[in-house]
Structure 1
């Protein structure tokens, strides 16, 4: 079977650190092209400044991985779907829920695969956590997702604009895990969003959720963390405590700590290849819906200016 010819659109840090190595390591794909108005691309691989240019001049591709900021992803996805290309959407899959729904409908009409790629769901501890919780009664959940924005997102102005999500850019990773591992649906009950006076998106958030079984869920997001960083989810159950730490890479159960190799992006591309080969899509918008609910229902608190 011929490999899937894929183009990476948006050649930034995440593309170079994660997407390009994952594609190179998966025999189901061949890197056919890169697209970026600023980055020169990869040696020996055709490069275009825009997706229009790639479509007009080639080379031919079967799929695109959209690694751009979410605010511009919808139009690029529409361009690709019009040409029958399969589309991989980096997280979050769009700037709005309506965009994601429209793309899902379009992909179904044209018979192309659309994949909303939540990389944290492929962290090593997530699948076994989901399996363990399926047989337990969840009593409460605590999420602490604290990191230093200066370290992880330096100079990224788009992330502070409407649609860029602010601290929810990393926080949505926690929500992608939460909505995947809990046996019952989750909904928001209240939130406080701390927004710098010179920015449009929050730098911190305190959020309360509840699942449909009544379990309370508390989320602490903060981009002002210095020193040790925290990406932890603790679930109290009738059978003891489950903890996912280091963004889901390490799982601790009452029986002990489980370690395994962390293969988030290789897992994503294995999933994308499977979806393409079987003619299916995977467009779960639940994590983005919870973020939208926080913006819809959350109390906004103005805090000190933020400067890179």
Structure 2
């Protein structure tokens, strides 16, 4: 079988650290072109824009998008209009409406689409999901705290409208929780803490529930000055399940469990390969909807200015 010829749009930190190594390690894909306005990608043809890539570049079957969410909608639309399969890095768009429109356009074009909620592919997630399937859940506590200066140095777009602020990492936790839980979640209340000189929150507290009134709470912090805290603890009648290190570690009642050895982005691209082969799509909107609802119902508290 011929490999899927892949184009990549955006060659920043996430593309360099995660996407390109995962693509190059998977023989089902061949990276043939990159569109970037920054540092070029070695070993492939580079173009200044997606339009230039589509018009003058090598033939591609699919395109992966690693640009910031603001402005991404029009780029993905352009690729879909050209009949390309699309993989879209999280968060897929700057607004829920844009993401919904992409779901519909993928369906109309008859191609495959993937909103790449990469944290769902962390090593412990599927084992956790299997264990939870037959348990009676009582409560969920999410703590997702990291230092923006470490993970997004100098990336001002995060603090601009549409940049999501602390929800840029927080949406990873929401993507895991919504994958683990059987019923949809709804935001009951939120407190968003916004620096005086920014448009997006640097921290947030969220209270959610499902139709059975499961108590789900999340604490997000993007100015966490020490080791990252990426944990989800789920209390059940039958025991306590805990995911740490963003889902890389799984324990039940304090006992470490065996998990997958496959990395997140390796699993993302394996899934994308299967979707293309099956002529299917996976474009879940629930994590982005929870973020949108948090902004919609959340109270805002001004906090001290943030400087990178």
Q: TM-score band (shorter)?
A: over 0.9
Partner of 1:107: 106
Partner of 1:171: 170
Partner of 1:7: 7
Cα distance in 2 for partners of 1:244, 1:65 equals 29
The superposition leaves residues 207-240 of structure 1 with CA deviations (integer Å, 9 ceiling, x where unpaired) of 1011221121111101121122200000000101
Partner of 1:219: 218
The superposition leaves residues 109-152 of structure 1 with CA deviations (integer Å, 9 ceiling, x where unpaired) of 11111110100000011101111111011101111111111111
Partner of 1:193: 192
Which runs of no fewer than 5 residues in structure 1 stay unpaired? Answer: none
Partner of 1:207: 206
Return structure 1 stretches of 4+ with deviation > 6 angstroms. Answer: none
1:291 aligned to 2:291?
Answer: yes
Cα distance in 2 for partners of 1:205, 1:10 equals 29
- 1:37-52 aligned at under 5 Å gives the runs 37-42=37-42, 44-52=43-51
The alpha carbon displacement at 1:255 in A equals 7.3
The alpha carbon displacement at 1:72 in A equals 1.4
- 1:241-256 aligned at under 5 Å gives the runs 241-254=240-253, 256=255
SS at match of 2:204: strand
Partner of 1:140: 139
Cα distance in 2 for partners of 1:257, 1:213 equals 29
SS at match of 2:240: strand
Cα distance in 2 for partners of 1:19, 1:54 equals 18
Cα distance in 1 for partners of 2:285, 2:242 equals 24
Structure 1-normalised TM-score?
Answer: 0.98
The alpha carbon displacement at 1:154 in A equals 1.1
Structure 2-normalised TM-score?
Answer: 0.98
SS at match of 1:267: helix
Partner of 2:267: 267
Count of residue correspondences: 307
Partner of 2:30: 30
The superposition leaves residues 228-264 of structure 1 with CA deviations (integer Å, 9 ceiling, x where unpaired) of 2200000000101000000000000137212432410
Report if the CA contact (8 A) 1:249-1:262 is conserved: no
1:64 aligned to 2:63?
Answer: yes
The superposition leaves residues 140-172 of structure 1 with CA deviations (integer Å, 9 ceiling, x where unpaired) of 111111111111111000111111100000000
Cα distance in 1 for partners of 2:254, 2:164 equals 37
SS at match of 2:83: coil
SS at match of 2:70: helix
The alpha carbon displacement at 1:184 in A equals 2.1
Cα distance in 2 for partners of 1:73, 1:224 equals 26
CA RMSD after TM alignment: 1.0
Report if the CA contact (8 A) 1:8-1:34 is conserved: yes
